[in-house]
Amino acid sequence: MKEKIRHLIQNTLHDLNVSGADFSVEHTADFSHGDYATNVALVSAKAVKTSPHALAEKIAGHLETKLPSEIEKVEVAGAGFINFTLSAAFLSVALKNAASSPNTFGNATTHANTKVIVEYTDPNPFKEFHIGHLMSNTIGEAISRLIASRGAEVKRACYQGDVGLHVAKALYGAKQANPKNASEWGKAYALGASLYEENESAKKEIEIINKAIYERNDSVLNALYDGGRKVSLEYFETIYKRLGTHFDFYFFESEMSKPGLTLVREFLKKGVFEESNGVLVFKAEKYNTKLHTRVYITSQGLPTYETKELGLHFTKAKTYPADQSIIITANEQDSVYAVGLEALRHIDPKLFEKTKHLSHGMLRLPTGKMSSRTGNVITAEWLIDEVKGKVREKIAERDFAPDEKEKITEAVAIAAIKYSILRQAVGGDIIFDFEKSISFEGDSGPYLQYAYVRAMSVLQKAQTAEVRGTDAESAAADGNIELARRLVRFPDVVARAAEEYAPHYLVTYLTEFASAFNNFYARVKIIGSPDEAALLALTRAVSTVLKNGLTLLGMPVVERM
Partner RNA sequence: GCCUCCGUAGUUCAAUGGACAGAACACUGGACUUCUAAGCCAGUUAUGUAGGUUCGAUUCCUACCGGAGGCACCA
Query: Which residues ranging from 228 to 257 are in contact with RNA (CB under 7 A)?
Result: 253
Which region among 76-84, 244-252, 319-327, 343-351 touches RNA (by CB under 7 A)? 76-84
Residue 421 contacts residue 135 (beta carbons within 8 Å)? yes
Minimal distance in Å, beta carbon 215 to RNA?
Answer: 15
Q: Say whether residue 124 binds RNA (CB under 7 A).
A: yes
Q: CA–CA separation, 295 vs 301, rounded Å?
A: 11
Residue 514 contacts residue 543 (beta carbons within 8 Å)? no
Which residue lies nearer to RNA by CB, 114 or 333?
333
φ/ψ (deg, to 5) at 374: -95, 0
Which region among 220-228, 231-239, 275-283, 344-352 touches RNA (by CB under 7 A)? 275-283
Count of residues near RNA by CB under 7 A: 97
Residue 511 contacts residue 431 (beta carbons within 8 Å)? no
Give the per-residue contact string, 428-457, with RNA (x = CB under 7 A; - = no).
xxxx----xx-xxxxxx-xx--x--xx--x
Which residue lies nearer to RNA by CB, 154 or 205?
205
Q: Which of residues 24-63 bind RNA (CB under 7 A)?
A: 24, 26-30, 32-33, 37, 39, 42-43, 46, 52
Q: CA–CA separation, 276 vs 112, rounded Å?
A: 47
Residue 462 contacts residue 535 (beta carbons within 8 Å)? no
Which residue lies nearer to RNA by CB, 116 or 159?
159
The Cα diameter of the chain in Å comes to: 85
Which residue lies nearer to RNA by CB, 45 or 116?
45
- Which of 83, 97, 372, 543 is close enough to bind RNA by CB under 7 A? 83
Residue 322 contacts residue 116 (beta carbons within 8 Å)? yes
Contacts of range 4-7, beta carbons closer than 8 Å, 24 or more positions apart: 4/68, 4/70, 5/36, 5/38, 5/71, 5/84
Q: CA–CA separation, 101 vs 368, rounded Å?
A: 48
Residue 372 contacts residue 382 (beta carbons within 8 Å)? no
What three-state secondary structure class fits 254? helix
Which region among 10-18, 59-67, 474-482, 505-513 touches RNA (by CB under 7 A)? 505-513
Q: Which of residues 161-190 bind RNA (CB under 7 A)?
A: 161, 164-166
Q: CA–CA separation, 201 vs 300, rounded Å?
A: 20
Residue 328 contacts residue 119 (beta carbons within 8 Å)? yes
Q: CA–CA separation, 238 vs 402, rounded Å?
A: 22
Q: How many CB atoms are located within 10 Å of the residue 377 CB?
A: 18
- Which of 233, 362, 465, 477 is close enough to bind RNA by CB under 7 A? 362
Which region among 53-61, 228-236, 347-355, 525-533 touches RNA (by CB under 7 A)? 525-533
Minimal distance in Å, beta carbon 410 to RNA?
Answer: 11
Q: Say whether residue 519 binds RNA (CB under 7 A).
A: yes
Q: CA–CA separation, 61 vs 13, rounded Å?
A: 12
- Which of 143, 157, 391, 472 is close enough to bind RNA by CB under 7 A? 391
For residue 137, give the nearest of 313, 328, 326, 278 by alpha carbon: 328
- Which of 67, 89, 281, 465 is close enough to bind RNA by CB under 7 A? 281
Q: Which of residues 211-230 bind RNA (CB under 7 A)?
A: none
Give the per-residue contact string, 402-431, with RNA (x = CB under 7 A; - = no).
------x---x----------xxx-xxxxx
Which residue lies nearer to RNA by CB, 153 or 406?
406
Which residue lies nearer to RNA by CB, 374 or 519?
519
Length of the chain: 561
Which residue lies nearer to RNA by CB, 113 or 368?
368
Which residue lies nearer to RNA by CB, 66 or 436?
436
Which residue lies nearer to RNA by CB, 154 or 539?
539
Q: Which of residues 283-302 bind RNA (CB under 7 A)?
A: 290, 292-295, 298-300, 302
Residue 155 contacts residue 118 (beta carbons within 8 Å)? yes
* DSSP, res 440: S
What is the C-alpha radius of gyration for the chain, rounded to an integer number of angstroms? 28
- Which of 88, 336, 365, 465 is close enough to bind RNA by CB under 7 A? 336
What three-state secondary structure class fits 14? helix
Which residue lies nearer to RNA by CB, 245 or 420?
420
Minimal distance in Å, beta carbon 115 to RNA?
Answer: 26
Q: CA–CA separation, 451 vs 442, rounded Å?
A: 12
Q: CA–CA separation, 428 vs 362, rounded Å?
A: 7
Which residue lies nearer to RNA by CB, 108 or 362?
362
Q: Which of residues 536-555 bind RNA (CB under 7 A)?
A: none
Minimal distance in Å, beta carbon 289 to RNA?
Answer: 7
Which residue lies nearer to RNA by CB, 219 or 528?
528
